[in-house]
Amino acid sequence: MSDLKESTISTAVVYTGDFLDVRRDEVLLPNGET
């Protein structure tokens, strides 16, 4: 299997609760796509 590395571009908090926090990450894939 190939070595896949992702770089984080941005992170946004979508929901914060007592039990669960949800965030949305935008990442840059090895092929240049987001």
Domain ranges of the chain: 1-34
Nearest CA to 9 out of 26, 22, 31, 23 is that of 26
Give residue-wise pLDDT tens across range 1-34: 567 788 999 999 999 999 999 999 999 988 888 7
Strands (E), 1-34: 7-16, 21-28
> What 3-state DSSP class applies to 19?
coil
CB 10 within 8 A of CB 25: yes
**pLDDT value for 6:** 87
**pLDDT value for 8:** 94
**pLDDT value for 1:** 53
Distance CA 14, CA 31 (A): 27
Single-letter residue type at 24: R
